[in-house]
Amino acid sequence: MFELRKIGIVKRASAWLLDAILLAVLATGFMYIISLIAGFDHQQDLLSSYYNAWDGYREQYLGEIAGRYGFTYEVSEDGKQFTVRLQSGENADYFDVLRAMEEDPPKEDEDPALIKAYNAYLDLKLRGIDCEGNLIDEKGVPMGKLAAQNSLVTSLFFVFLSLGVLLSYLVLEFILPIILKNGQTVGKKVFAICLVRPTCVRITHLALFARTMIGKFAFETMFPILLVYMFLYGGLGILAVILLAALLLLNLILFFATKNRTPIHDLLAGTVAVDAKLQMIYYSEDELNEAIALLHREEAENSKS
């Protein structure tokens, strides 16, 4: 009567997988809508135009300046692959060559081809490029700076991803479970799973919100995504991988070692996943206390008789 009716790992994993698929689909849809509203395609086109312009510059000028700054520049026979190395043999990138030229620009008495390459670099770096590759002025965009535009596009994608996942969690893990009652998502409804407090009392909206937004969205989803982002773009390197593995290990330990198989989001919210068909759910602590008192009175009467 007052026991938690636990569910099997297979059923719980199946419900989680169904919810994860729905979450991914909905998040993708939200991201697409937000990107249309924000004009993300234009920023991507601008970034592509920057890449095309810099590739054109590389093809035209890099051979003229690589040797001057201690690099070798090799192009494959089909012209599609190129390799930049330090003269010591270490791998480099053509932006390393450009940075070297920027730090030590050519003198007036040096090779005219080198001076021309440097002036073209300044022109390309300081001015904007439209989607057709024409040099134009653009307001509000980091003009001519490939790294800045790449950072902008990457940041926008991260923002769209965050908003898409946030809205998806709000719909699938908060609003819908309020409608379906007892914290049931689509996956939980299909596989007859619900949420209760460890005392078998119905969960509150506040607990459901904490489970969804703090546990699932912030800690279990966006924090790992942020770690991946920092690994790829932020310079955390192996530390991000270690933190990501530690988070996964912590969740596995909590799930398999705790009495009620309680992952991080349930631990933070004080909730437990149980069998919806077998679980007795009390709507409040008062109702639970009344049931306990009634049971004690019945036990007392039975002992007297």
pLDDT for residue 233: 72
In a domain, 1, yes or no: no
On whether the CB atoms of residues 149 and 141 are closer than 8 A, the answer is: yes
Please indicate, yes or no, whether residues 196 and 282 belong to a single structural domain of this protein: yes
Please indicate, yes or no, whether residues 106 and 20 belong to a single structural domain of this protein: no
Q: Is the pLDDT of residue 28 over 90?
A: yes
Of 2-11, 19-28, 100-109, 138-147, minimum mean pLDDT range: 138-147
* Domain containing residue 134: 42-144
Residue 65: count other Cβ atoms within 10 Å of its Cβ.
23
Tell me how far the alpha carbon of residue 107 is from its chain's centroid. Answer: 47
Q: Is the pLDDT of residue 304 over 80?
A: no
CA distances from 164 to 35, 157, 185, 196, 210 (A): 10, 10, 18, 28, 19
What DSSP designation does 171 have? I
Q: Is the pLDDT of residue 8 over 80?
A: yes
pLDDT for residue 21: 96
Q: Write down the residue that tokens 């938690």 correspond to.
A: 4
Instruction: Please say which residue of 125, 144, 163 terminates a domain.
Output: 144
Please indicate, yes or no, whether residues 113 and 155 belong to a single structural domain of this protein: no
Q: Is the pLDDT of residue 167 over 80?
A: yes
pLDDT for residue 132: 47
Contacts of residue 111, Cβ cutoff 8 Å, sequence gap at least 6: 64, 68
Please indicate, yes or no, whether residues 132 and 176 belong to a single structural domain of this protein: no
Please tell me which residue, 215 or 151, carries the higher pLDDT value: 215
In a domain, 212, yes or no: yes
Residue 169: count other Cβ atoms within 10 Å of its Cβ.
21
pLDDT range class, residue 24, cuts 50, 70, 90 = very high
Mean pLDDT of 119-144: 56
Instruction: Please say which residue of 114, 144, 174 terminates a domain.
Output: 144
Residue 293: count other Cβ atoms within 10 Å of its Cβ.
10
In a domain, 3, yes or no: no
Of 6-20, 107-121, 265-279, minimum mean pLDDT range: 107-121
pLDDT for residue 33: 95
Please indicate, yes or no, whether residues 34 and 107 belong to a single structural domain of this protein: no
pLDDT for residue 272: 93
Please indicate, yes or no, whether residues 101 and 81 belong to a single structural domain of this protein: yes
Rounded-to-5 percentages of helix, strand, coil across the chain: 65, 10, 25
Please indicate, yes or no, whether residues 116 and 56 belong to a single structural domain of this protein: yes
In a domain, 284, yes or no: yes
Please indicate, yes or no, whether residues 254 and 286 belong to a single structural domain of this protein: yes
**pLDDT tens, position by position, 59-80:** 888 888 888 888 888 887 776 7
Mark out the alpha helices in 39-140 (DSSP H runs).
40-65, 94-103, 112-126
pLDDT for residue 84: 85
Percent of the chain scoring above 90 in pLDDT: 37
Q: Is the pLDDT of residue 140 over 70?
A: no
Instruction: Please say which residue of 126, 144, 162 terminates a domain.
Output: 144
Number of domains in the chain: 2
Percent of the chain scoring above 70 in pLDDT: 90
pLDDT range class, residue 161, cuts 50, 70, 90 = very high
Provide the 3-class DSSP secondary structure of residue 141: coil
Give buried/exposed letters for 178-208 (b at 16+ CB in 10 A, else e). eeeebbbbbbbbebbbbbbbeebbbbeeebb
pLDDT for residue 206: 95
CA distance 193 to 277: 8
Of 38-47, 48-57, 279-288, minimum mean pLDDT range: 48-57
Please indicate, yes or no, whether residues 244 and 220 belong to a single structural domain of this protein: yes
pLDDT for residue 164: 96
Q: Write down the residue that tokens 């409804």 correspond to.
A: 189
pLDDT for residue 26: 97
Please indicate, yes or no, whether residues 195 and 62 belong to a single structural domain of this protein: no
Please indicate, yes or no, whether residues 116 and 223 belong to a single structural domain of this protein: no
Please indicate, yes or no, whether residues 60 and 135 belong to a single structural domain of this protein: yes
**pLDDT tens, position by position, 86-97:** 877 788 887 788
CA distances from 226 to 161, 222, 229, 235, 251 (A): 11, 6, 5, 12, 17
**pLDDT tens, position by position, 206-251:** 999 999 999 999 999 999 988 888 888 767 778 888 989 999 999 9
pLDDT for residue 305: 62
